[in-house]
Amino acid sequence: MNCETLMNQDEHIQSVLHKQSKKMRNDYRIRLNASIDCIRVLLRQGHSFRGHDETESSLNPGNFLIQLEFLGAHNKEINDVVLKNAPKNCKLTSPDIQKDIVSACVTETINIIIGDVGDSLFSILVDESRDVSTKEQIYNLSMSKLRGQGFDGASNMQDKFNGLKALILKKNPCAFYIHCFAHQLQLALIAVAKKNLPISNFFRVVGDVLNVVGASCKSSDLLREKHSDFIVEALERGELSSGRGLNQETTLQRAGDTRWWSHYNSLISLISMFSAVIDVLEIIFRR
């Protein structure tokens, strides 16, 4: 019997280990490709990856995990090896893994751009800090071929001595600079709005309300509590729809001085939490 067992290579311990290792490698490849596919979609659409709460009980764990869950729900082969069905030490969903895959995508994209540009003249449009821009965004392209540069009016970009504009011009005086037209439009909208007294007063009042309600951690916690109570009551009355990703707003967004769209987002967040804001203001007034 021992002889027959020894002669049966399929039962040999090395054969069993080899089969298991082959399956593990195959599962790993499927799991990795699934994560890569999800990240490629998010990068192409310019969406965020992370969620505020990425636990298994979270209703909105973030775009990456939602995308991976969706992919598994429509492919049994993938579903069998990802998320809950993946080994705890090899889920390939951690922030570090996501960053590694993104870095690999960046490298491939840069190589394609460099290949396409070749020896041609080119311009750059940058929206980053000085260090990141000079070391990462220029891709090792030939500075002698650079003929145009464009970005917003931030000091780290346009500073006469240490701004990105000055650093590039020192290396190549032919790199003509153009202030980003989109940013100029933003600044024009802000300037016009400030000259209009009703609009200016309106946004001043909105800013004062946000400052009062968010003046302390206690007030912020009270705002979240009141808003949560409002959501529960509205759901019970059927005034709000329930579902994944809905009714997640729990903070008020502040408007920026040079970003018109931030004023819009600030108003949207204030409207969605208006009832809770009024309750908090009344409590603060009675103190």
- One digit per residue, the tens of pLDDT, for the chain of length 287 reads 777 766 776 666 666 566 668 888 899 999 999 999 999 999 998 888 988 888 888 888 889 999 999 999 999 999 999 999 988 888 999 999 999 999 999 889 888 888 888 888 888 877 654 444 444 455 766 778 888 888 766 655 666 666 777 878 888 888 888 877 777 787 788 788 888 889 888 888 888 888 888 777 777 788 888 888 777 777 777 766 555 444 455 567 777 666 677 778 888 888 888 888 888 888 888 77
Q: What angle do CA 184, 187, 191 make, to 5 degrees?
A: 140
Q: Which of 269, 255, 129 is nearest to 189 (CA)?
A: 255
Q: In this predicted model, what pLDDT tens digit does every residue of 36-71 receive, in sequence order?
A: 999 999 999 888 898 888 888 888 888 999 999 999
pTM of the predicted structure, to 2 decimals = 0.50
Q: Tokens for 24, please give them.
A: 């593990």
Q: In this predicted model, what pLDDT tens digit does every residue of 189-226 receive, in sequence order?
A: 878 888 888 988 888 888 888 888 877 777 778 888 88
